[in-house]
Amino acid sequence: MRLITSFLLAIFLITQSGCTTLIIGGVVATATAITMQDKSLGNIIDDTTMVIRINKGLLKHGLFSSIKVKVSEGRVLLIGSVDTPEKQLTAEKIAWQQKEIKEVINEIRVIPIQMASMLDTTVDGMITAEIRTRLLGKRNIKSINYSVNTVDRVVYLMGIAQNKAELKAVISIARKVKGVKQVMDENINFETDTTFVLIKEAQRRGHEVFVYAPNNLALKLNHPIALAQKVSIDDFSFISKEDVAINLNEMDIIFIRQDPPFDMRYITTTYILEKTSALVINNPTEIRNCPEKLITSLFPELIPPTLITENISMIRDFYCSYKDIILKPLYSYGGNDVIRIRDENSIQVVVDLMIAKYECPVIVQSFCKNIDKDKRILLLYGQPIGVIKRVPKVSGEIRTNMRLGASFEPAQMNDRDNQICNKIGPELKKRGLIFVGIDIIDDFLLEINTTSPTGVVYINKLYNISLEKDLWDVFEEKASSHQLNL
Ligand SMILES: *[C@@H]1O[C@H](CO)[C@@H](O)[C@H](O)[C@H]1NC(C)=O
Ligand SMILES: *[C@@H]1O[C@H](CO)[C@@H](O)[C@H](O)[C@H]1NC(C)=O
Ligand SMILES: *[C@@H]1O[C@H](CO)[C@@H](O)[C@H](O)[C@H]1NC(C)=O
Ligand SMILES: CC(=O)N[C@H]1CO[C@H](CO)[C@@H](O)[C@@H]1O
């Protein structure tokens, strides 16, 4: 029984980081709940079959020898290196084509051929073997649950941690192996989860916290109902009790911490949550109205030249004007399929793949030259409360999102950052977008993340602060004034 519980939890924290709707019982220490994404227990997919199918696809496209495929619980990790972005994307497409895939983590690197031959695969193999051996020898680590892979002396860990202590032990073993440049643990790391620290602080303040998955949300006789689990967090694990049906009107605060895709399930969540009398962070109507890449169009003077379309000839024209462009799927997230185009011949294949995969228009922007100037700023009720600079993990990597394992440094707000925050702050307040994260690259506003902003853990570490306390001060205050206004 106990084991099943922690297993479930691990699933939630690891594969669902950031995908939660959090309902927090508010000011007078009442009740709280969170939404997890589908957990699809009882529907455990055969990972091995999936590896075989993906490998077949790769073989057909001549990519088998350069890409390694790992699958755990329906989540696919692709690693290796190829010489063009198209190949990187093709491999991911092959993975997505398999039924029942929950997530594809594309860690394939694009490296020009001459450099690729310099990668030392012998050293990589030795590092992997050494880490595996060391994990095996540890009694408190279920080594079978981790996959270890090394590319160019960067170690990729994937799997399911029983608890935080085990995770820490695994990472530290990997780090200590000689020759290891970096350990990429993003795929199993729940320490970095903003949702986790928000729950912890809620609990410290005496609030009750519940979590629920979006597919456990209902509207019954016009009452918003969730099948939720009460949770508590100690230092090492996340404990939940059995499901209870709760009327969301009895909650004080509901947090939507659900990752895109911005699909009909997402939209439905916002419709149902509009019915509650609780304070919802963020306002569901405005989350629906403000997809992160589209909402920036409210501020044309702050964004780079932008085109949203499915029309290939318009994209070509745009390319001819700017010569160096970025293509992104309009409703994806976390840096998925962000492609830089510097060669007209690759436009067709990239656009075709993207439209086939996402079935919606793409967003095209002129490339922001100075990707070294990449910041994420968190705003609380329209005011900046934290800023970090993001540094891509591989030089030349254009996707700098946190999920992809960028590292972070402290940063200063410059004049332009202040100008951007001053401009958008009042609009965010007006719309009830209480907690958002924005991305600024090279002084341009690129995204306003209203769904599930993260970065709190990094900011806390870099500045030795506890940002969640400031957040909760405001959440509690907003919850009481919300109740007074009912
Ligand atoms: C794309 O737009 C151009 C005008 O820019 C138009 O001539 C063409 O028919 C459009 N193509 C499609 C496939 O709609
Ligand atoms: C918004 O934040 C969530 C949680 O971190 C993240 O998963 C998502 O990728 C972000 N959206 C964008 C567009 O970066
Ligand atoms: C972090 O802040 C705490 C007090 O808030 C202080 O005791 C501690 O020494 C600080 N740590 C560092 C590394 O500055
Ligand atoms: C969470 C998880 O995957 N646990 C697995 C770890 O490995 C043991 C032994 O193979 C499995 O029984 C667990 O289910």
Judge whether 50 lies within some domain.
yes
Per-residue pLDDT of the chain (486 residues; tens, 9 = 90+): 122 222 222 222 222 333 334 444 333 333 333 333 333 323 344 777 788 889 888 988 888 888 888 887 777 888 888 888 778 878 888 887 777 777 777 788 877 665 555 556 677 778 888 888 888 777 777 655 677 777 778 887 776 666 667 777 888 888 888 888 877 765 444 445 788 788 888 888 888 888 887 788 899 999 999 988 887 776 545 566 677 898 998 888 998 887 677 788 889 999 999 999 999 999 999 999 998 899 999 999 999 999 999 999 999 999 999 998 999 888 876 666 788 888 888 888 888 878 887 888 999 999 887 766 789 999 999 999 999 998 765 555 555 554 455 678 899 999 999 999 999 999 999 999 999 999 999 999 999 999 888 888 889 988 999 999 999 999 999 988 888 887
Give me the pLDDT at residue 119, please.
Answer: 57
pTM for the model stands at 0.66
Judge whether 479 lies within some domain.
no
Choosing from 14, 255, 282, 403 the residue with most ligand 2 atoms within 8 A of its CB, the one to mutate for a pocket test is 403
Q: What is the pLDDT of residues 437-475, one digit of tens each?
A: 999 999 999 999 998 888 888 899 889 999 999 999 999
Residue nearest to atom 11 of ligand 4 (CA): 145
Task: Show the domain range for 154.
Answer: 120-185
CA distances in angstroms from 362 to 28, 29, 368, listed in the order given: 46, 45, 17
Which CATH number do you get for residue 226?
3.40.50.20
Pick the last residue of a domain from 128, 161, 185: 185
Query: What's the number of domains the chain is made of?
Result: 4
CA separation for the pair 191, 170 (Å, rounded): 13
Instruction: Take residue 272 and report the two structure tokens written for it.
Output: 């149902």
Separation of 259 CA from ligand 1 center, angstroms?
33
Quote the Cα angle for 359-361-363, to 5°: 135
- Which residues are part of the catalytic machinery? 293, 328, 376, 390, 399, 439, 447, 449
218 in the same domain as 156: no
Pick the last residue of a domain from 339, 367, 395: 367
Which CATH number do you get for residue 358?
3.30.1490.20
Give me the pLDDT at residue 6, please.
Answer: 23
Element of type H or E holding 329: strand 325-329
Percentages helix, strand, coil for the chain, rounded to the nearest 5?
Answer: 40, 25, 35
103 in the same domain as 161: no
